[in-house]
Chains A and B, each alone.
Chain A
Amino acid sequence: MEAAVETKSLSRVFEPKKKKEGKSVTALDSVDLRIEGGELFGLLGPNGAGKTTLLKILSTLLLPTSGKAYVAGLDVESQFSAIRQKINMVSGGEISGYGLLTVKENLWMFSQFYGIKSKVALQRIDEMLKDFGLSEKKDAKVRTLSTGERQKMNVIRGFITDPDIIFLDEPTLGLDVNASRVIRSYMIDWLKDHPTKTVVLTTHYMVEADELCDRIAIIDNGRILACDTPERLKKMVKMNTTLSMDVTRLKDAAVLGSFSGVENFTFTEDGDKGLTRLRFVMRDESGVSDIISAVLSQGSRIESLQKTEPTLEDVFIKMVGKGLE
């Protein structure tokens, strides 16, 4: 079967505006990716990793610098018109929309650009507004909506055109728990109802990626570091357990990373409470007692201690070398 998305050595370099100012940025670096029809695919990566750049190329907003990208088997460079019939894209955290129109009008207008029959569109709008808990706002002017309501409207705008492949750039960014849940379950239901359609999303939220996605690509510095199901990604770090400790009055956290068995070590200071959060990814547990005595020898007090099995976040930390805070 033809892949929903396929890239071959896809690279994108941004040149500085003026030659003298700054260097060029390699936002995507030889990305090879294959996303199958029917997948809910997640791109996970820190700020500046290249997630948005990839989605922009796939949604025909931006051209590759080199390499190839195909959407529904069509070349983004030369067959963009045909691609546009089949896709839609929504970016979270953006407050776009024609403020003078009502929510219904705004959605209706975009549906018309995709040649959807007016009657069908209006019916779909009603249903989706209901699904998203936005029915009351149907006749409200877009400019009167809250940021989250606008974002929900934009997610509806993406689905209302019935795309084969939808690109969602951080669709739940800044939304409250409830709204995020609505959007997530909508995506899942949508794929259940349309098994050949495809969702490609980017996210910062580990839980979202873990619970939602069929497969995840971890991306950093424009490179795909790993690409697999959440389960298998977690198995890759199977040997590792995580030791988390909240301690007070710690003098020097940095020295704690050098014990045997420590694969990765991060710490954050909670200045208000004088609390330090330590987090060790352990290859094996041989070093645990050494760590604890080292903490205690600094005159520090352990407030809480927790040992956990690997999560997606650990996978991420292992791959990228830092957390997603």
Chain B
Amino acid sequence: MAVMNDLRTMKNAAWLGWQMEANWADPFLFATYSIVKPISATLILVFMYMVVTGGNTDNPYFSYMFVGNALYMYVAEVLFGVTWVIHDDREHYMTLKQVYIAPINFYAYILGRSAIKIAITTAGVIITLVFGVLVLGVDIFLDDVDWLLLLGSVVLGMGCICVLGLALGGITFLTARHSIGINEGVAGVFYVMSGIIFPITALPAWAQSISKVLPITYWMDSMRRAVMPDAMAELSTAAATDVTGLGGVSDLYIMVYLAISTAVFFALSLGVFRFADGVARRKGKIDWTTAY
């Protein structure tokens, strides 16, 4: 029963999220937001890469960077997305307390609201990748894609990032403040440490040992292995040394690692929400806005 109720809450919240994100009254704006924005953000990086390398996009490293950057959009959007949902309800619509006192699972509500943001971001990532393949010759060939690994990576990786975003969102709930600082910090660590646009082997040894704990590092690698296996093989084995830093790690290990991380972050996010809920009620912060 409780599960059914939570699913219904998620469905309703997703409906609400959809009404907000996909503003069909202005399809042009919506298209700009979901297509042009991610592509143009990527193009800036591509342009910088071209300047530095003298226009050499033939290198497997170009594909490495392009895919990493596209997937990172996903990481960043989701990490900030949940926080924004809570922030919006609190400050913009001022509906947080109305939703809060409704007989629903607040966690399910937030998940539903965020789902649409996540879906739109996913579309943006796919569009960016297609653009990369068609226009810039990124090394993704449908015949070579390891679909099983891709499916596993997508499910586990996205799950992991979502629950991480929820855990961060719980902190917003707690502080009644922009926790954007925290989110930026976390996103920044992932950007530098998780092999997004440069491999972790470019980092000093101590930083690499941190990288090898972060689940995003593994997600990036398994996603690349799935969509661009040849380029990854070239990067991790053909060279004298393993550029990716994860050449010796098996696909299965990554999947298990992501599964465990997801479970841990899921438990953590539930814990954060429960704790934040108690503190917010004790301190009377639920209907606060930062204007106070």
Q: Which of B102, B284, B287 contacts A114 (CB 8 A)?
A: B102
B5-42 CB mask vs A (1 if < 8 Å, else 0) is 10011001001100110010000000000000000000
- A63/B281 contact (C-beta < 8 A), A84-B101, A109-B12 known: yes
A62 touches B284 (CB 8 A): yes
**A203 interface contact, C-beta 8 A:** no
**B131 interface contact, C-beta 8 A:** no
Q: Which of A112, A114, A157 has the most CB of B within 10 A?
A: A112
B98 touches A63 (CB 8 A): no
Q: Which of B8, B15, B97, B99 has the most CB of A within 10 A?
A: B97
B264-292 CB mask vs A (1 if < 8 Å, else 0) is 00000000000000000110101100000
**A22 interface contact, C-beta 8 A:** no
State in angstroms the CA–CA spacing of A89 and B286 once bound together: 14
**A198 interface contact, C-beta 8 A:** no
Whose C-beta in chain A lies nearest to the C-beta of B99?
A113
**A110 interface contact, C-beta 8 A:** yes
**A1 interface contact, C-beta 8 A:** no
B104 touches A113 (CB 8 A): yes
What's the tally of chain A residues with a CB closer than 8 Å to chain B? Answer: 29
Chain B residues near A56 (CB, 8 Å)?
A: 284, 287
B101 touches A87 (CB 8 A): yes
Chain B residues near A115 (CB, 8 Å)?
A: 5, 8, 103
Interface residue stretch chosen among A2-10, A91-99, A171-179: A91-99
A98 touches B16 (CB 8 A): yes
A113 touches B12 (CB 8 A): yes
- A63/B101 contact (C-beta < 8 A), A97-B95, A109-B15 known: no
Whose C-beta in chain A lies nearest to the C-beta of B105?
A81
A100 touches B103 (CB 8 A): no
Chain B residues near A100 (CB, 8 Å)?
A: 19-20, 23
Whose C-beta in chain A lies nearest to the C-beta of B286?
A61
- A95/B103 contact (C-beta < 8 A), A105-B19, A115-B5 known: no
CB distance from A47 to the nearest CB of B (A): 17
Interface residues of A in 89-128 (CB under 8 A from B): 89, 94-101, 105, 109-110, 112-115
State in angstroms the CA–CA spacing of A85 and B94 once bound together: 21
Whose C-beta in chain B lies nearest to the C-beta of A81?
B103
26 contacts between A and B (CB under 8 A): A14-B284, A62-B281, A62-B284, A63-B281, A81-B103, A89-B98, A89-B101, A94-B94, A95-B94, A96-B94, A96-B95, A97-B93, A98-B16, A98-B19, A98-B20, A101-B16, A109-B12, A109-B15, A110-B98, A110-B102, A113-B12, A113-B102, A113-B103, A114-B102, A115-B5, A115-B8
**B100 interface contact, C-beta 8 A:** yes
A96 touches B98 (CB 8 A): yes
Chain A residues near B9 (CB, 8 Å)?
A: 113
**A59 interface contact, C-beta 8 A:** yes
Chain A residues near B19 (CB, 8 Å)?
A: 98, 100-101, 105
Instruction: Add 10 more A-B contacts to A96-B94, A99-B93 (CB < 8 A).
Output: A61-B97, A81-B103, A89-B98, A100-B20, A109-B15, A110-B102, A112-B12, A113-B9, A113-B103, A115-B103
Chain B residues near A89 (CB, 8 Å)?
A: 97-98, 101
State in angstroms the CA–CA spacing of A85 and B286 once bound together: 19
B287 touches A109 (CB 8 A): no
B93 touches A157 (CB 8 A): no
